Structure 1
Amino acid sequence: MKTLYQLLLDRWNQNCDTVLVTIVEGNGSIPRTTGAYMAADQTGRIYGTIGGGNLEYQAVKKAMTLAGKDAHFVEDFDLGTGENGGLGMVCGGKVKVLFYSVRSNDTKIASFLKEALKIEEEKKPYWLLLPFSKGYPKIESHLEEGRGHCRILEEYEKDRTDGNNEVQKIYAEEFNFDGKVYIFGGGHLAQELVPVLSHLGFWCMVMDDREEYTAPNLFPGVQETKTVDFTLLSDILEVKKEDYLVVVTRGHSCDADVERFALRTPASYIGVVGSKRKTQYVREKLLAEGFTNEELDRVHAPIGIDIASETPAEIAISIAAQLIQIRAEKAGLRRKNK
């Protein structure tokens, strides 16, 4: 979301009108679920996606006509085959799409974007509230207990001159910041992995005991690099439960040093690269040192999802896929149609 907020603010500063397009509800088979965001302007889509195909095409066309106008509303889209007025897609589901006009002459929207960016920088959990029609987006630290990290709320409009209450619907989505990814080993695999994870929104730090393998320019998107002694990691790192530990060092001796440290942390993910023979060797070594099978079962070894990967680039994709899976499970986002 930080990238999206920054894009919208940059365009506001450049006097460019933009439309924020969001899926706020979805039913049935759909290409993207609730919480998919896209930005568009008079020229077309400029960031993100709500699933592609005719849904996105029609949404972009709609957004192009709204750029610069004071118009916020929700439109229903039927992703059926077209027999009953659908979009001619085989998905068959239905979605509600919110179009929110971010006008370059509106100072209140700029204030909201600055507040949202500040929250993102501070990495604080928050709720984003987007009104279906009137009003401005808001940031809330918490909402009353309810079901799901995405909700449609109802709020009564106040101070109406006719004395009647009008229900205003609001899309609310919760954002929590995930843990850091600590990557041990700065070789070819780490150099392929960091740009992928960075693009996916993971915070990455690379560590190696060889200074030449901790040069930041080797890892586009990395937040930090450090030359370390793998036997002294507990002196420099304070790993939290939400963190990920990726062990891709140059050999089984270093792997064992890092895995020994990792098993004494509460990390939500520990993955170790290597063949089954190599990982079994390290496992037996640690068992002999007193670690239990239950403790060692926390380790994903060999690391990554099995996609028959062989090259560093392919293995990086398999690791990234596994971290996406773990992140989704932690957030309760593993949905059948996603």
Structure 2
Amino acid sequence: MNDNPKIAYWKKVLSLLNKGQNVFIAMVVDHTIHSPGTTGAKLLVKENKEMMGTIGGGIMEFTLVNRAYNILNNGNFTPEIQSLDHKKTGTDEQSGMICAGKQTNLYYVCEPEKDSEIVDKIVQNLTEGQSAILSISPEGMSLHKQELENHDSQYSFTQSDDHWCYQEQLKNYNRIAILGGGHCSLALSRVMKNLGYGVFVYETRENVFTITENRYTRSVQIVDDYRDAASLINYPELTNVVVMTTDVDSDVQGLLGLIDLPSPFIGVMGSQAKIAEILRRLKSEGISEDQLSHLTAPVGTPMTSNTPEEIAISVAAQILQKRIQPTN
């Protein structure tokens, strides 16, 4: 199975530490709208200047990689933060970029002796999908167990005159449940995993080619009835849902189970004629107009989408558009 970007990043850090190498890591811990670097973005720099990931690119990143190289080759480094303005004027240090917005970066050097064990636990938690809080401050890096419901957001950054602390819940807040395991589901699974989402697929058929070929999911669950899938979705308030089964009856059954979930997004794939029939049947089952208003039907950003890959791109684009964005 191919790793999602976050797991791949930490596995690379661990691999380098296990080879006895120090690793410079940079993370975006806060950002405003239009900033090229977004909270949670990560970059690593090796002792030979090779890098992985990005915190926004451009001259900002070029300058940082050169600085990281010097830090890695000159000994001790105390963890620090840097606030950068992406415009010619601003209250913080200028990044050299003019795309607007600003971001705060955290810089830390992982060392084999002090950090290998923690990074190994990070990889383990991410791989197993476990809840845990990663904390980084001037005192160093730590990890402790904490359930998802006890942490308000995926990322937290606090700063005072003499101290700062960054925290990240390792459990992925970006989640998507897909009802249906066909070609479009396979394509959407691939796209969403590459975007860093945890993908969960529900299907009524076993041993379907597109299910056995789907290496992009956290899980595939076979259900007797698509209506049962809703009760199997963990953290529904964080989980986007897309219905793309093989027929109208299955779509309707799935939606009857999903309609009252607190999911941020519930979409169903289909032509205008198919959607009209689905909505008619839902109404005949007693679903109100208010309940139907929570559905996105048909799902996908309007575009000419004919192939499964094109449909997947249009659906992913719509989900990304509806994400909550920074307001300042």
TM-score exceeds 0.5: yes
Q: 1:257 to 1:46 in 2, by over 3 A?
A: same
Aligned residue type for 1:255: D
Larger radius of gyration: 1
1:194 paired residue among 183, 189, 196: 189
Provide the rounded CA distance (Å) in 2 between the counterparts of 1:236 and 1:336: 32
Q: Paired residue for 1:40?
A: 45
Aligned residue type for 2:326: R
Aligned residue type for 1:320: A
Aligned residue type for 2:97: M
1:316 paired with 2:312, answer: yes
Provide the rounded CA distance (Å) in 2 between the counterparts of 1:192 and 1:146: 31
The within-5 A match list for 1:91-106 is 91-104=99-112
Q: 1:10 to 1:137 in 2, by over 3 A?
A: same
Q: Is the 8 A contact 1:216 1:224 kept in 2?
A: no
1:234 paired residue among 215, 220, 228: 228
Provide the rounded CA distance (Å) in 2 between the counterparts of 1:238 and 1:190: 18
Q: Paired residue for 1:161?
A: none
Instruction: Tell me the alpha carbon deviations over residues 52-111 of structure 1, each in whole angstroms, 9 at most, x when there is no partner.
Output: 1111111111112222532133445453459xx95542225554433211123xx22112
Q: Is the 8 A contact 2:126 2:171 kept in 1?
A: no
Provide the rounded CA distance (Å) in 1 between the counterparts of 2:298 and 2:311: 10
1:12 paired with 2:17, answer: yes
Q: 1:146 to 1:64 in 2, by over 3 A?
A: same
1:62 paired with 2:67, answer: yes
Provide the rounded CA distance (Å) in 2 between the counterparts of 1:187 and 1:171: 41
Q: 1:286 to 1:234 in 2, by over 3 A?
A: same
Aligned residue type for 2:248: H
SS at match of 2:232: coil
The within-5 A match list for 1:77-116 is 77-81=84-88, 86=94, 88-104=96-112, 107-116=113-122
Q: Is the 8 A contact 2:43 2:53 kept in 1?
A: yes
2:26 paired residue among 6, 14, 21: 21
Give how far 1:273 is off: 0.1
Where structure 2 has 5 or more consecutive residues not aligned to the other structure, the ranges are 1-5
Give how far 1:302 is off: 0.3
1:280 paired with 2:285, answer: no
Where structure 1 has 5 or more consecutive residues not aligned to the other structure, the ranges are 156-166
1:138 paired residue among 142, 146, 149: 142
Q: TM-score, structure 1 length as denominator? A: 0.77
Q: Paired residue for 2:3?
A: none
Q: Is the 8 A contact 1:207 1:214 kept in 2?
A: no
After superposition, the CA RMSD in angstroms is: 3.6
Higher mean displacement: 111-120 or 40-49: 111-120
Provide the rounded CA distance (Å) in 2 between the counterparts of 1:25 and 1:65: 25
Give how far 1:193 is off: 0.8
Instruction: Tell me the alpha carbon deviations over residues 180-199 of structure 1, each in whole angstroms, 9 at most, x when there is no partner.
Output: 53322222211211111112
Provide the rounded CA distance (Å) in 1 between the counterparts of 2:278 and 2:25: 50
Provide the rounded CA distance (Å) in 2 between the counterparts of 1:186 and 1:219: 9
Instruction: Tell me the alpha carbon deviations over residues 111-157 of structure 1, each in whole angstroms, 9 at most, x when there is no partner.
Output: 2223433444564555433224xx31123567x999994323349xx
Q: Paired residue for 1:163?
A: none
Q: How many residues align?
A: 315
Identity of aligned residues (%): 24
Aligned residue type for 1:276: Q
Q: Paired residue for 1:158?
A: none
Give how far 1:285 is off: 1.3
Instruction: Tell me the alpha carbon deviations over residues 193-216 of structure 1, each in whole angstroms, 9 at most, x when there is no partner.
Output: 111111223222333344453554
